[in-house]
């Protein structure tokens, strides 16, 4: 029995059944008038379509769309839509309340499958696709747009809040290019779970209300290796104040000097003005109120706020080890949200150069480059706002405020993660830097290491330190894990040719962008060679030495905190509370998502729903299992043993099994 199937029969204290047997046997599975009425009461006010220009052509074929921000479309129905999972916290944003009985729940789920698959249109909804452009991997790509997403409208909830809802994967639009407008189960489940998981981590993000699969299929070549397979069409209901992005303002771009591509609405200055007026008045009303008579000052204040929000957002990514994977300008929210979950990933073993996207061959969007890339993207937004906001105003804002905001927010979070609740010292920056370097050289698990630090004692008793070193060493990479991480990736003949090219024609090598790849490969070869001679005992001793050095400095810093506390016991309790509320126990690791996906592809949606419930409480010491939490030694042993997919189940908070390193997301 595979890992994904091993949990089908397990009971869970955290998860109540979604469709109790009595309800299923009663034949409830189709929406009733009451369920449809509840969805039909959503109050739409589709301001974007009233204010921004609409494409006059309603032909739903891939084409260039000039002079418009939206094109009207219709979702393409799917066969036999089935609800994989839904998030009531997200649907509550729309004013939908959780049902009170299992029958009501089953009926509403059936209605959700019908409407949020695109098979039926909600009253007041006006499906449309948004036109935008983007710089992809640094190069301007021209018109992109909602090739697989559809704006349904803007819902005003009972509190007067405005929420745009979208269907992702609902079929063809004018922006689908050579694609089919569909998404499949694996990508949809990942986006659904991560959208909600990021929200409950406290990170600005778009939300996901439902995930609906079907019996309709499309063909996908997952790894682009000539082995396509059929996969089920799946649709995600996405929710956000707006899905307008940096690339929305790039539709006016003149021909690019490098690619020659241009935006579809070049020279349409009046539309750019309309878009700025719309975005600022709708999503930044306080800025409009502060600058009612000076558009340049208003636009500068708008750009400053987008800059600050973006800096804070990426700082929060870095603090939980989140890698977006595709930080193109078309994947950057104009209101500072994490948007468009594709080949994302949370780091397991800490590596500052971690690349989560298997297609990012040059590591442009590596973990440590995310702050720099977001700043670069803001520069492209600044260019797109000219002449409504001149560069001599926007660029100084970017240069003077982005880095400062990022660093201040990053250190504010890091201090909480380390339990520094009394003082803010200059030396904290170096302590954080040294911690990350220690995690790097020992291959420590990013999430679990931070979580474990809350149990570190200020007590100077040597036995206390030794006990903690035993615990933290279990979060460091084993020799087997390191061998996988540093396994050479290039064919020796290819590497030899590249090295000869480096000697004979270094300019050409730099032009094709492989110099850094060669250096990394040489480093992998060197590290892999050293690992062949290293014993487990030697690795353990080395790791403990690194951690002892850092922990002694950490203890000195904690003692300074303690000196400023009036009550040592209260300070200690508050420190643990603050640390545990800033260091998650649960994140959406790739292997956890993969187990849920494989179960769902086999018709079992319970694992998706179980993981969703777990991610709704990422900071709590709860485990969605029938068994009691395992001892650390048992978990470590299980992780080491799980070298194949058929091995026993791990707790969701453990280091990933060895087979997880083979997962590739593109």
Catalytic positions, written as ranges: 330
The per-residue b/e assignment along 109-128, b for 16 or more CB within 10 angstroms, e otherwise, is: bbbbbbbbbbbbebebbbbb
* Whether 666 contacts 357, CB under 8 Å: yes
Reported as half-sphere exposure (CB side, CA atoms, 13 A), residue 301 has a value of 18
Reported as half-sphere exposure (CB side, CA atoms, 13 A), residue 296 has a value of 7
Phi/psi at 483 (nearest 5 deg)?
A: -65, -40
What is the rounded CA–CA span in Å between residue 616 and residue 581? 13
Residues 351, 369, 551: CA angle, nearest 5 degrees: 40
Residues 68, 258, 173: CA angle, nearest 5 degrees: 30
In eight-state DSSP terms, residue 642 is: -
- Number of C-beta neighbours around residue 616 at 10 A: 17
Supply the Cα-derived Rg of the chain in whole angstroms. Answer: 26
Phi/psi at 90 (nearest 5 deg)?
A: -75, -45
- The CA–CA distances, whole Å, from 242 to 48, 279, 307 equal 9, 9, 17
- Number of C-beta neighbours around residue 463 at 10 A: 8
Nearest to 185 by CA among 232, 217, 145: 232
Q: Token digits for 409?
A: 């927010």
In what helix (H) or strand (E) does residue 164 lie, and over which residues does it extend? Answer: strand 162-168
If 0-12 CB within 10 Å is exposed, 13-18 middle and 19+ buried, where does residue 90 land?
A: buried
Nearest to 590 by CA among 602, 598, 580: 598
Nearest to 665 by CA among 588, 605, 611: 588
* Whether 617 contacts 600, CB under 8 Å: no
* Whether 360 contacts 325, CB under 8 Å: yes
Nearest to 632 by CA among 480, 417, 470, 442: 470
């Amino acid at each position: 029995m595979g890992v994904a199937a091993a949990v089908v029969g397990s009971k869970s204290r955290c998860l109540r059944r979604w469709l109790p047997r009595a309800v299923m046997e009663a034949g409830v599975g189709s929406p009733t008038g009451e369920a449809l009425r509840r969805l039909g009461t959503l109050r739409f006010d589709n301001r974007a379509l009233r204010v921004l220009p609409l494409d006059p052509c309603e032909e739903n074929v891939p084409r260039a769309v000039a002079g418009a921000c939206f094109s009207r479309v219709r979702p393409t129905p799917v066969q036999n839509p089935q609800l994989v999972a839904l998030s009531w916290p997200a649907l509550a944003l729309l004013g939908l309340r959780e049902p009170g009985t299992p029958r009501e729940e089953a009926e509403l789920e059936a209605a959700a499958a019908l409407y949020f698959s695109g098979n039926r249109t909600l009253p007041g909804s006006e499906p449309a696709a948004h036109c935008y452009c983007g710089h992809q991997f640094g190069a301007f790509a021209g018109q992109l747009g909602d090739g697989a997403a559809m704006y349904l409208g803007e819902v005003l909830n009972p509190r007067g809040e405005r929420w745009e809802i979208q269907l992702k994967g609902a079929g063809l639009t004018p922006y689908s290019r050579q694609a089919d407008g569909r998404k499949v189960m694996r990508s949809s489940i990942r986006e659904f779970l991560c959208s909600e998981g990021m929200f409950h981590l406290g990170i600005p993000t778009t939300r996901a209300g439902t995930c609906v699969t079907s019996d309709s299929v499309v063909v996908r070549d997952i790894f682009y290796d000539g082995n396509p397979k059929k996969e089920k069409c799946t649709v995600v209901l996405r929710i956000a104040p707006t899905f307008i992005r940096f690339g929305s303002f790039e539709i006016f771009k003149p021909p690019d000097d490098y690619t020659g591509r241009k935006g579809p609405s070049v020279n349409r200055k009046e539309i750019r003005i309309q878009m700025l007026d719309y975005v600022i008045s709708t999503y930044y009303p306080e800025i409009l109120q502060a600058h009612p008579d000076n558009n340049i000052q208003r636009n500068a204040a708008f750009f400053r706020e987008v800059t600050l929000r973006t800096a804070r957002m990426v700082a929060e990514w870095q603090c939980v080890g989140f890698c977006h994977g595709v930080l193109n300008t078309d994947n950057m929210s104009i209101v500072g949200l994490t948007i468009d979950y594709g080949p994302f990933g949370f780091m397991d073993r800490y590596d500052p150069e971690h690349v989560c996207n298997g297609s990012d061959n040059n590591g442009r969007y590596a973990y440590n480059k995310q702050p720099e890339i977001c700043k670069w993207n803001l520069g492209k937004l600044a260019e797109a706002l000219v002449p409504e906001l001149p560069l001599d105003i926007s660029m100084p804002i970017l240069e003077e405020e982005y880095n400062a905001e990022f660093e201040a927010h990053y250190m504010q979070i890091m201090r909480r993660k380390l339990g520094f609740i009394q003082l803010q010292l200059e030396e904290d920056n170096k302590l954080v830097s040294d911690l990350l370097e220690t995690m790097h050289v020992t291959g420590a698990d990013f999430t679990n290491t931070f979580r474990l630090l809350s149990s570190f004692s200020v007590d100077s008793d040597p036995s206390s330190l030794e006990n903690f070193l035993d615990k933290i060493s279990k979060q460091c990479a084993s020799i087997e894990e390191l061998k996988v991480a540093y396994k050479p990736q290039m064919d020796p003949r290819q590497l030899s040719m590249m090295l000869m090219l480096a000697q004979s024609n270094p300019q050409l090598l730099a032009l094709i962008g492989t110099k850094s790849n060669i250096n990394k490969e040489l480093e992998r070869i060197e590290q892999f060679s050293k690992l062949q001679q290293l014993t487990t005992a030697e690795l353990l001793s080395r790791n403990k030495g690194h951690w002892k050095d850092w922990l002694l400095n950490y203890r000195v810093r904690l003692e300074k905190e303690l000196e400023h506390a009036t009550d040592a016991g209260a300070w200690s309790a508050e420190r643990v509370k603050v640390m545990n509320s800033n260091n998650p126990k649960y994140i959406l690791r790739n292997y956890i998502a993969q187990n849920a996906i494989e179960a769902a592809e086999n018709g079992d949606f319970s694992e998706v729903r179980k993981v969703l419930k777990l991610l709704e409480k990422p900071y709590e010491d709860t485990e969605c299992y029938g068994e009691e939490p395992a001892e650390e030694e048992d978990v470590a042993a299980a992780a080491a043993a799980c070298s194949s997919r058929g091995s026993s189940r791990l707790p969701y908070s453990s280091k990933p099994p060895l087979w997880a390193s083979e997962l590739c997301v593109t």
